[in-house]
Amino acid sequence: MINLLTLSKGIVLCVVLLMALQMVSAVKVGILVQHEDGDMEGYCVEVDQNADGFVTLSEVDDLEFAEVENQHILCSIDEFVHFNCEEGSEHSIRIFMQNSGEWHSKGIPALDAGATCYDFSFNPADNLDFYSFETNTFTNMKYCAQEGDVIGIIGEPRIGGRPGPPEFDLTPSFEELCAPLRIKDVTASVDGDKKSAIDEPGETIRNVFPGSELELNIELENIGSEELDRKIEDVIVTATLEDIGNDLKEKSDDFTLRADDNKDVTLLFSIPETTDDGDYDLVIELEGEDEENIEFELEWELTVEIDKERHRLHLSNFETTKSQYCAGESGQIVLEIENIGDSEEETLVKISDGSRTLSERIITLKERGTSARYEDSLAFSVPDQAGQQTLTISLTYGDEYLSESTTYSILDCSNAVPQELVHQSDSENVIVVAPEVTEAPTTRTDKLGDTSVFMIGLAIASTLIVFILLILSILKKK
């Protein structure tokens, strides 16, 4: 008997293997096209790994091919037509690869013929048996795309005899063609204190604290050569400080970066006061595209180390409950203080208005939990003089000192106008809003008026009673 469980496992395994075989990773290949007149263009194409030369080069719009004996040959670059494709043509097109940063002296024999992939040990002089004089190609060797390849296509006048090594005017690297958008370095400034430049990913930015201002100056460069003049357009820099709140994210405006040029981008993060100490990932992403709509992306990851200072208080709130008060009335202040440091703090809290000390007290703030927060409200008397009044709070703890101020208006309410009185004129509408005035209890003084009303009511009631008695008397006689 066949074990159904074992059979099903075998089927699943086969399916997975088949899917794995069908999955082909994509690779990028740099391509330089040099025309017979010396003009050059650079390209970066993305194809399946081991894609043949015809599939790879077909990604370049300016190239045209012809099919001969079940294989393709490159026929033309724009108006320059290879002599193999047009009788009487005086033009030749050859295809080469870079090897260790130099153009290999032996050209690629075929684009998509044969099953063997071209390698740099190939020597056409040793392979004449495989040469097709009908198609002028070596049918046993083809190009197979690999990540990082750089292919050079050169148009040149047709010459007699065996052609020599290629005479390219430029030897661009794979990075220049396929990854020209680079981060040269990142300089971090914490609260205005500039750190040394970081020139590679994986580094750590230190001495950042809750409440710090973290400024990143990111220097970008387009390492493409001026000869190719490939502009990178719509460049955007995004920096994300992960796991702080819902992630802190800053993004630059888009811009254009010309070949062999640099640009500085500045992004600013405000670290929340309540951030826990620890290591946080800072991800910097670049994106842009060239005029051929070839997209470029780059990602750097840094670490931001956030430490809580041993002694640090944060004044979360300090304000009056209203922005305006009448002279002489009672006002109210609300305040909230947080201990965001690593130690318990005994703190002197003093509130003054310049000429008077409104409150002075000592509080203790624990380093964590609900006891690390202090909330209170304080009543105070508003001065009699109208104008602007400033209140100042100072916190003194250990060798540290923190001070902040708030301002409110004092109004002369002795001649107050009805609230929301509206004056209208032909030219404009002007709304005059009177300040809020605390109403005093009113005292009734019109006692005579109250007595008159009582007497009139009593007379009416008496008349009604006499009338009802008269009616009852008449009914009784009947």
Tens digit of pLDDT for each residue in 121-180? 766 555 544 555 555 555 567 889 999 999 999 988 877 656 677 889 999 999 999 999
Residue 219 CB-density burial (10 A; 0-12 exposed, 13-18 middle, 19+ buried): middle
Which candidate, 75, 26, 23, 25, places its Cα nearest to that of 54?
A: 75
Read off φ and ψ for residue 48, nearest 5 degrees: -70, 145
- Tell me whether strands 261-270 and 324-326 are parallel, antiparallel or unpaired: unpaired
Q: Is the pLDDT of residue 396 over 60?
A: yes
Say if CB 186 and CB 217 are below 8 A apart: yes
**CATH of the domain spanning 24-160:** 2.170.130.30
**What is the pLDDT at residue 209?**
86
Q: Is the fold of 24-160 the same as that of 313-411?
A: no
Read off φ and ψ for residue 78, nearest 5 degrees: 55, -120
Which candidate, 182, 159, 181, 155, places its Cα nearest to that of 32?
A: 155
Q: Which CATH class is domain 180-306?
A: mainly beta
CA–CA distance, 40 with 201 (Å, rounded to integer)? 33
**CATH of the domain spanning 313-411:** 2.60.40.10
**What is the pLDDT at residue 447?**
43
CA–CA distance, 202 with 282 (Å, rounded to integer)? 10
Say if CB 375 and CB 415 are below 8 A apart: no
Write down the pTM of the prediction.
0.62
Q: Is the pLDDT of residue 266 over 60?
A: yes
Average pLDDT in the 67-72 region?
Answer: 81
Rg from Cα positions in the chain:
43
* pLDDT, tens digit, 9 for 90 and up, residues 372-394: 888 999 999 999 989 999 999 99
Domain residue ranges of the chain, discontinuous segments joined by +: 24-160, 180-306, 313-411
* Dihedral sign of CA atoms 120, 121, 123, 124 in order: negative
Say if CB 431 and CB 409 are below 8 A apart: no
Q: Is the pLDDT of residue 319 over 90?
A: yes
Q: In what order do the strands lie in the sheet with 357-365?
A: 324-326, 400-411, 387-397, 345-352, 357-365
Which candidate, 374, 319, 370, places its Cα nearest to that of 346?
A: 374
Q: Which residues contact 443 (CB under 8 A, 6 or more apart)?
A: none
